[in-house]
Structures are given as C-alpha cells and as structure tokens.
Amino acid sequence: MIKKIFTIFTIITLALISVVTVNGVLTPLQKTNGSGNLNYKGTDDPILINNTYEYTDSEFRAVWITPLAGNIPKYTSQTQYKNVMTQVFDNMEEYNLNVLIYHVRIMNDALYESELNNWSSYYHRNPDWEALPWIIEEAHKRGIEFHAWMNPYRITNSYTGSVESYANSVSNSKNAASNPENILKGGNSLILNPGEPAVRNFIVDTVEEFVNKYDVDAIHFDDYFYISGVDDSTSRGKYNPNNLGVADWRREQVDLFIHQLKDYLDDFNQTNNKHVELGISPSGIWQNGDGNVTYDSEGNAITSGSKTGGMEHNNAHLYSNTVNWINKEWIDYIVPQSYWGFEHPVAGFADVMGWWNKVVKNKNVNLYSGIGIYMASSSSNTYSWQNNPDEMKNMMLYLNTLENVKGFSLYSYAHLNLAINNNSLFKGLFDNAFNAAWEQKVLLPEKVAGEKINPGTVTNISLNNDGIRNVISWDLNNLAKYYAIYKSEGTITYDSSELIDIVLASSSGTESYTDVDTSNYHYAVLPLSASNTSGNGVEVVNGGQITTYKVEFYDAFDNVIKTQYVEENLGAAAPIGPSKTGHTFIRWDKSFSSVTSNLKVYPIYEINTYNVIFKINEDTVSTQNINYNDDAIAPTAIEIEGYKFVKWDQAFTNISKNLVVNAIYEVSTYLVEYFDGNNLLKSEVVEYGNNGSAPVPPKKAGLEFLAWDKEAINITNDLKIYAIYSDAVYEVKFYIDGIQQEPTQHVKHGEDAIAPVVNKPGYGFVSWDKDFVNITSNMGINAIFSDEIFQVKFFVKDILVKTYVALYGESIISPEVNIEGINFIGWDQEFDYVTNNMNIYANYEIINYTVSYLVNKDVIKTEIVNHGENGTAPKLPIIEGYYFLEWNNSFDKIKENTIVNAVYNRIEYTVSFKYNDKIISKQTVYYGDDAISPDIVLKAGDEFVEWSLNFSNVKGDLVIDAIVEQKKYTVTFFDLDDNVLLVVDVLEGESAIGPEAPQITEKTFEKWDKNFENILEDLEIRPIYKDNSSEAIFKSCNSFSIFQAITIFLSFGLIVIFKRKH
C-alpha cells in the first residue's frame, strides 16, 4: 500500500534559517555545546526539528518492560504482583503511554502457563497464580495495548556443557531444545537452531498456543536471532539446495521463519476476526551504506544501508534481513532500536531514523522509533544523551517531522520508574519530553494486521448533569472495542487536545462515561474498532445531541490532509489547495458550505503544459507544446559533412518544465587497423581528415620489413593497412684463437652453418662457443680448447667407492662392484671421454626373497621382502582348541627364501570336583577331552545322586559339585491279618513313630515285634497281643499304678498326635 506523501511548503527567510511547514516551523537542531547546527553525517545539511510539537490524531507510545533486566521483581504472591503491575499502569498513564511491551518468553521459557515451554525462573518455577490474563485485562481496561515480547531462539547465555547434555536436561519432550540437533552453541550461549524446520515449527506452535489463549494485540520480537561462534554446517548440509554461502543461507533461514509466522497470523486473524500484529524491534543499523534509498516499480526499497558505522543486523552475526521483510510486508510494524544520541559520531539518531523513514515509504508497515533512554546514565560515552536534558524532547520534535514515523517505544520501564520517583536525571528528560510532546492523550495508530473494521457511530447518546457530575450515556456499539471521549467548551473538533479518555467497550447493555466536572461542556463519543479504526464521533450537550458530520479533505494521492467535524447545515473550512506535481489546483470537487452528511472532498486539477524547443547549431528546428509527464518527439537530425549526430543534450520524456533541447554532434571518426598478415598490430580511431600513426613493424625471423601497403594520411574512411617483408640472409664466421677460418659463410634464415676442421697441437678441442644450427642472425663462433684435470667419483648406494683423476678427454676404468644384497646393472653415465668433474652412480636392483607363512602346512601369506629387511607376520587364524605359541623360524633381516611355520599348543583346562565344599579331585584336561569322575567317600547318611555339570568335551575351566541326598528307609506297620496300618519313610539313624495298635476282643496289645528306633534298614513291624481273664483283669486293676496310668495317658496322646499328622 502506497503511503501518503507528506508535502512541505518552504519559505526561506534571511532573518532565520528555518522552514515553515503546514502546521509549524522547522528549525535547525543546535549542537549541545552551542557551536552551531548539527548536520547529517558527512553533509552540510542541517538536521531540522519542529519548533513546536504538532500533535496528530494517533501515536504509538510504548514502553518495554522485562524482569530480565530487573524492571519488575519476580512473582511471590498474587497480591504482590498485582500491586507491582498496577503501579506500572499508573506510571504509564502519568506520561500518557498507550502500549505495554511485556516480556513473556525470555530464555526458551514462559511467563505464562504453557504445554510447550516450562515456567520461567524470571517469574516463578512453580507459581500458584498465572498473572498474564489479569495483566492483559487490566491493560485493556485502561485503553493500553498489550504486546507480547518474545525471544524466538535464545535458550541461555551461561552454559558450559555440551548441547547433548543440555538437551538431556530438558524435561519437556515437547520443547524443541530436548533434541540436540535443534541447538547451536556459541561460547557459553545456546540458541535454538534457526536452520532446522522443527525449530521454526516449534516457535510458530508457541505463538499459536499463545494467541489462542490470550487476547493479545501483537507478537513482538527483539534483535536476538543468530549468535556469534556457532557451527551450523550440519544443517546447511541438509537444507541448502541453492548452495548458498553461510551468510545468505542464515538470512534465508530467518526469512523462512518470519514468512511462516506471518502466514500463520494472517490466517488466524482472518479465521477469528482478530488483529494480532507481528512486530520486530531489530538493532538500529540494518547495514552501513551511503544512506540513499531508491525504489523499484513495486515500491520496494533499494539501498546499500544507512550512512552509519556500527554492527549490522543484516550481516554477522544476527543475519536478520528486515528490509526484505518490509519490502515483502511480512511484518506489521518495525521498531528499530535507534538508541544513539543525535551527536553520536557514527550512528546519530537522525542518520538512523531518517533512513528508516525512507525504507518504509511505500509499504504497509508501521514504523516506530526505539528510544534508548537508558543511555543517559551509561558509563560509556553516549555523547549528547549524557549532557543534554532536552535530548529525548528533541527526538520527539525530530520524529514529528518524519512522515512515516507513527510513534516510539522507550527502553526501558526501569528508567520511567526512576523519573516517577524523582530521579533528577531521568525526571528532567521525561518531563521535558512530556511537556513538549506527550501532554495530550492520543489514539493508537490503525493496525496493519487483519481486516479494517469501521465501527460507524454511537446511537441514543445523552448527557445528564446531576449537580455533581456529567454522565454521558449511549447504546452499545457491537463493532467498538474502545470509545474515545472528547470534551470542549465549544463545538468538538476532535483535536487530540480535546481527548480526555479512552475506555474499554462493554459486552452488553448501555455504555456510559462519568465526568466529575459539572460545567456546561460539549462532549463527544468516538467508537474505535479492534483494528484501531475510528468511526464517526457524536457530539452531545446538555440540550441534547448535536448532529455533526465529518468532512475529510484529500490530496491528489488519496491522503487525508484535513478532517473537520461540522454541525449540520454549517460550512467547513477548506485547507489550502494541495499541490500536485505538474498540475494546477482548480477547485474542490463538491460544495461544503452547508454540510448535511459526511463528506469526502477531493481536489480537481488542470494539467500543466510546457514548451519544448529543439535546436541545431542555435537554429530552432522544432517547437512542441507538451502536457506534464508526456514525452516530446525529437525531430530528425540533419547531416553535416565530417560530423555525426550523437544525441540531444537532455532527456525530453516525462516533461515537467519548459525545455530547450540542443543537438550534440561530434567529428566523424574512422577505424585504422595495421596488420602483419592476419595479426592485428594496432588499431586507432582517427578524426575526419587527420593522419594515422603507424606502429613500429615487428621484427620477423628470417624477414626484413620493406614498407606499409597504404599510407595513413587524410583519413576519410576506415582503413586496413598491411606490412610488407622480404627473406633475410646472415653471415657466419668461425675463429680459432681469434683467427677467422675462411671462407665466411652466408646462411639463409633458419638453416645451419658448417663447422671447419679444428687442429691445435697440445690441446684437446672441447667445443664451439655457440650453436650454429637454425641461424637467425649474424654470428661469430670461437673454438674452445682445454688441458684441465678432472675428478671422477663412483658411488654405489650413495656410498663413494672410488675416486679417479683424469685429463680432459681421458677414459676411466670403472671399479668392481661387490655389495651384498644387490644385483649390479651398470653405471648411470659414460666415462670414456672425460670433459669435466663427474659423479657417477651405480644402477642396481635390490635382491628380494619370498617369505611364506604356514599354518598346518597351509600357506596363509606369501610376501616379497628386500634383502636385509624384516617380514611382516600375518593375522593368524583361530584354531579351535589350540593357542598360538610362536613362529618356528625368524623373519627378521631376510637374506634367503624363508618358510615360517606357526606353532600352536593344545589348550588345557582345569576341572575341579567338589564334595561337601571341598575339592576332592583336580584334573588337567585338554580342550575337547573328557574329565574322569573321581571316587567319592560319602559321609554317613549321604547318598550320591549325580555331578552338577557335564564334564565330557571340556571347553573351559570347570568346578563341579557332587549332588547327594540323605538315605531313607521304609517302615511298614501291619495288623495280625497283614493289613497295612501305616507306612513311614525315615532318615537313616532316626526313629519312626508307630500307630495305635488295633483292639482285639479278649486280647491286650503288648508290644510291636521289632524296635523302630535308629533305623538302618527297611522294616516290617507287627503287633504282639496276650489273652485277657477276669483274674488277670482284677489283678491288673489292683496292681495298676499311678506311673502306669501316666504312661498310658501319654501313649494315647502320642497316638492322637500321630493320627493328626498323618
């Protein structure tokens, strides 16, 4: 969407250096030390600020608040936290601020209840109350927007362990940091990896969870994206189909995230009729450049960057291409952290914000300025922040001049709180800005996100005065989110000076507003929708509703230049006719002298026409009358001998003024080329009638230059000129001791001379001092003789074996070569005609041998080993039941073919037999053989059952226990008819317990026929009885003793016990 073009009318006066705007005067900003105007960096252009702040209907007035920097304390109780935040809202209202940017995600955590992110320690690890719903509700009650400030990637700034150990420590498996592939480490800092799709999805899911839970006005990211020192080569290897470099690839990853999130929020807003904005607050410098901004046909900003010097967030290490996001409208607003003072030498406030103002010019992205109020108390040099109490006020007055800046945000709340608490430094800065620019309440700027909702007007408005207050009432407007309340002693003009409050709309019933003032005022209610779109205000007085209409005057670019509310049948006051380049304002398109409805009034223009005169040599050849922005048509240029028409001296398209256009001619020129055959030697451009300048002809082997085939004089056309050559002949003379040997030879180029016979007694002829083949010049050639003595050395394996002394031309007899381990082949050069010192080396080959390695007569490796070198043993096979002991032959310093056998021994194991925890036999058994069961002497009562382990085919050490059990015997009790009464198993040496003997008439049981104590064998036991008689009975009774009675009683008891057991 093309933004409005802000037109400045200027009047230059001699008395003051100032510019008069539509609403006020622009004045050069003075240096703090009073030494003159403050200019834009590297220019003589003064920075202009408004002399008086020009209030607008709407302005973004925000403050950042975070527990990370100690702006507010951690949560301890519901009462404590409500008191803290209530004070925050009170302090914001004190300075008429209308947006709270509250930190909800600091270190991959949450200051709210979340399924994806753990509770933040900056709030409370396990709170008993979630503050966020209440904070958002309280903000909206006061007409304050709530923007949720999130850091998308940051995990921690202080972790020394590995990413794997950190990921293992994350208890929430839904959190992206639980996977080490999603983490990057730089120094002691960890971030989520922007290059992993899972990370992008996770952050979008985090935002999705948040906006579905809370009535939030915006999602707000600050400047933390990539960090320095990270290695993301693994991710680049997976996701780099375009083979981008590191910087471009990282920018692409952040681009993908921002685009994906914007698409989600757009869908969310459309589906839910919401207006959640996406805002970014990057560092102040996108990229350092020349400060210029141009635009393509789509209105996209084209720029090298701001005229600054400092860290660039488009490059290392943040890689966030915010200009691209603006051009593609992937964000709804941007708040550059333009924290520096006006007088900062490399990043002055005006150099930064003036550039951003141009970048957003044609895009539907709201621009706000981040104000670094904290710099006023910085220990480092922050220039004018530290010594100018009007610094923030001047920033407001400067931003007031920038057509595309719609507000600001203060960093941070801590410094606002200092001002509230009468800190002298900050109270002065805040009060000066407040008194100049914030005294009046303002509406919020219309939102970029979501569909615009026009809430229309309110109905049934009334004003009642009960003697102590004025109460305004009206019917609920279902499209209103807020109502703006205006108050004036006269007719309401809806100027910000009349705005007294912004109240949250209720959900049902009649709305009302109470003013404790009882004077006779005019009031008006203006509904505001969720998109911050203003409806039509309705004015009311004690006498009833006043019908007013909104009259909007537009400029040629569909921008509202004046809004006026006019009572019914009264007239509006038109502004000065707006200018339009190339046009003259004629009138407004409709009457507004008696307004009876809302009006939109547009200007009507007449297009300007201009004279375009074409001249050749001061003679007019064409005069044309052209409408603004149309093109003139060039006449045909006449021909002038020796000259050619080049162009017209200026453009005559898009005509916007009277023009005189002159033809430009230049002397005709011609191309002159010089050749050697097909080889271009030189080319030159020669003006009409002038002479050319031939090059020096190249020297050619065997040829002599004669002339050029054409003369390069009085040039009137293009020429090609060729060099002419003839064959060359050279003189060759041979000399012996300075005496020429006749005759002199004449040799054609490239042919050979013939040497004469040489004879000098007492000397050996060495050579001629020059080669005389392929003659290419005149030559003198001298014979060389010598009687010098030379050394000839013979080497074998780099060892000197013999040195000879020889005269020039002498032959040498070579020494014998007899060295162990080599086969001598010959010498590397001839020595039958010595002409210099010589080092002669033997050619030989090393003798080598075959080394064979055998296991059980099978060759497992054969290798070739040079004489005197060592063999290399192979990896041995494993032979079941055997272990390798040694090789039977050495394979070190081999001097013959060698066979080496591996020697294996059988593996032995120890088999121990144990009885009663004592070893009774220990045997050594070869692998696979059987152990022999030993004899065993059992103790009384034991009976051998078996051994605990198998000891055949032994394949390891064994400890084998004897398994025994105690001996048992069977004791069987019969009656006299051989019926079995009882069968008892009894351990050896123990006693059996007998049954009760059966009773037999006229017989008395006497005893059992065998003893059943200390049983040592199987037994069969029968009862013995005796016959009864009365006498015997009588005698028995008389002789019955107490002892016998007790014995019978005990016997009976044992029998009973025995029966109960069995």
Task: Give the CATH number for residue 714.
Answer: 2.60.40.4270
The rounded distance, in Å, linking the Cα atoms of 385 and 300 is: 34
- Tell which residue, 387, 382, 360, has the closest CA to residue 372: 382
The answer on 389 and 373 residing in a single domain is: yes
The answer on 358 and 225 residing in a single domain is: yes
When mean pLDDT is compared across 88-102, 222-236, 825-839, 891-905, the lowest value belongs to 825-839
Domain that holds residue 689: 669-727
- The per-residue pLDDT for range 659-697, each reduced to its tens digit, is 999 999 999 999 999 999 999 999 999 999 899 999 999
- The per-residue pLDDT for range 995-1041, each reduced to its tens digit, is 988 999 889 999 999 999 988 888 999 999 998 854 443 333 444 44
Q: Is the peptide bond before 124 cis (omega within 30 degrees of 0)?
A: no
When mean pLDDT is compared across 88-97, 148-157, 397-406, 910-919, the lowest value belongs to 910-919
Structure-block tokens of residue 759: 């004879």
For residue 745, give the H/E element and its range. Answer: strand 739-748
- The per-residue pLDDT for range 327-343, each reduced to its tens digit, is 999 999 999 999 999 99
Residue 827 CA: distances (Å) to CA of 166, 759, 793, 813, 868: 72, 32, 11, 12, 24
pLDDT of residue 969: 87
DSSP reduced 3-state for 550: strand
- Tell which residue, 774, 670, 763, 660, has the closest CA to residue 712: 670
Q: Which of 925, 942, 966 is the last residue of a domain?
A: 966
When mean pLDDT is compared across 286-290, 564-568, 674-678, 951-955, the lowest value belongs to 564-568
The answer on 194 and 87 residing in a single domain is: yes
The rounded distance, in Å, linking the Cα atoms of 254 and 244 is: 14
pLDDT of residue 249: 98
Q: Which of 947, 966, 985 is the last residue of a domain?
A: 966
pLDDT of residue 650: 94
pLDDT of residue 1054: 42
When mean pLDDT is compared across 103-117, 415-429, 462-476, 1030-1044, the lowest value belongs to 1030-1044
Q: Does residue 8 register a pLDDT over 60?
A: no
**Does 521 fall in a domain?**
yes
**Pairing mode, if any, of strands 277-280 and 333-334?**
parallel
Q: Does residue 2 register a pLDDT over 90?
A: no
pLDDT of residue 742: 87
What percent of the chain shows pLDDT beyond 90? 70
pLDDT of residue 922: 92
Structure-block tokens of residue 797: 């394996």
**Does 929 fall in a domain?**
yes
The rounded distance, in Å, linking the Cα atoms of 204 and 258 is: 9
- The per-residue pLDDT for range 79-109, each reduced to its tens digit, is 999 999 999 999 999 999 999 999 999 999 9
- To the nearest whole number, what is the mean pLDDT of the chain? 90
Instruction: For 109-151, give the secondary structure using H, E and C.
Output: CECCCCCCCCECCCCCCCCCCCCHHHHHHHHHHCCCEEEEEEC
Contact 413, 71 (CB under 8 A): yes
pLDDT of residue 562: 87
Measured distance between the N- and C-terminal CA atoms of the chain, rounded to whole angstroms: 106
- The per-residue pLDDT for range 291-337, each reduced to its tens digit, is 999 999 899 999 999 999 999 999 999 999 999 999 999 999 999 99
Please report, for the domain that includes residue 473, its CATH number.
Answer: 2.60.40.10
Q: Does residue 758 register a pLDDT over 90?
A: no
- The per-residue pLDDT for range 846-879, each reduced to its tens digit, is 899 999 999 988 998 999 999 989 999 999 888 8
In whole angstroms, how large is the CA radius of gyration of the chain? Answer: 57
DSSP for 404-466? TEEEEEES-HHHHHHHHTT-HHHHHHHHHHIIIIISS--BPPPPSSS---------S-EEEE-
The answer on 618 and 696 residing in a single domain is: no
pLDDT of residue 744: 92
Mean pLDDT of 522-535: 96
The answer on 600 and 493 residing in a single domain is: no
The answer on 1034 and 998 residing in a single domain is: yes
Backbone angles phi, psi at 81, to 5 degrees: -75, -35
pLDDT of residue 24: 55
Residue 968 CA: distances (Å) to CA of 605, 984, 995, 1017: 132, 10, 19, 8
The answer on 1020 and 978 residing in a single domain is: yes
Mean pLDDT of 508-512: 89
pLDDT band at 375 (very low <50, low <70, confident <90, very high): very high
- Tell which residue, 781, 744, 780, 738, has the closest CA to residue 760: 738
pLDDT band at 1053 (very low <50, low <70, confident <90, very high): very low
* Domains contained in the chain, number: 10
The answer on 475 and 425 residing in a single domain is: no
The rounded distance, in Å, linking the Cα atoms of 353 and 402 is: 9
The distance of Cα 440 from the centroid of its chain, to the nearest Å, equals: 44
Contact 408, 56 (CB under 8 A): no
Contact 60, 99 (CB under 8 A): yes
Q: Does residue 418 register a pLDDT over 90?
A: yes
pLDDT band at 270 (very low <50, low <70, confident <90, very high): very high
User: What does pTM read for this prediction?
Assistant: 0.60
Contact 132, 75 (CB under 8 A): no
Q: 726 vs 658, which has greater pLDDT? A: 658
The answer on 307 and 217 residing in a single domain is: yes
**Does 6 fall in a domain?**
no
The rounded distance, in Å, linking the Cα atoms of 150 and 153 is: 9
- In the numeric block, the tokens 């006051």 are attached to 573
What percent of the chain shows pLDDT beyond 70? 94
Q: Does residue 7 register a pLDDT over 60?
A: no
**Does 52 fall in a domain?**
no
**Does 334 fall in a domain?**
yes
pLDDT band at 948 (very low <50, low <70, confident <90, very high): confident
Contact 951, 958 (CB under 8 A): yes
The answer on 405 and 321 residing in a single domain is: yes
Q: Which of 929, 945, 966 is the last residue of a domain?
A: 966
**Does 741 fall in a domain?**
yes
**Does 53 fall in a domain?**
no
When mean pLDDT is compared across 8-22, 351-365, 787-801, the lowest value belongs to 8-22
pLDDT of residue 1029: 57
The answer on 722 and 738 residing in a single domain is: no
Please report, for the domain that includes residue 375, its CATH number.
Answer: 3.20.20.80
The rounded distance, in Å, linking the Cα atoms of 945 and 962 is: 8
pLDDT of residue 28: 98
The rounded distance, in Å, linking the Cα atoms of 1044 and 1042 is: 5
Contact 355, 290 (CB under 8 A): no
Amino acid identity of 415? H
pLDDT of residue 725: 87
364: which DSSP letter? S
Neighbours of 186 (CB within 10 A): 14
- The per-residue pLDDT for range 828-846, each reduced to its tens digit, is 898 888 888 899 998 888 8
Mean pLDDT of 620-642: 93
Q: Is the dihedral of CA 748, 754, 755, 756 positive or negative?
A: negative
The answer on 359 and 273 residing in a single domain is: yes
- In the numeric block, the tokens 């004036």 are attached to 488
**Does 201 fall in a domain?**
yes
- The per-residue pLDDT for range 608-621, each reduced to its tens digit, is 999 999 999 899 99
Q: List, as own/partner pairs, every contact residues 323-329 make where C-beta atoms lie below 8 angstroms and the sequence separation is at least 24, other chains included.
A: 323/286, 323/287, 323/359, 324/251, 324/255, 325/255, 325/258, 325/280, 326/301, 326/359, 326/360, 326/363, 326/365, 327/300, 327/301, 327/363, 328/259, 329/363, 329/364, 329/365
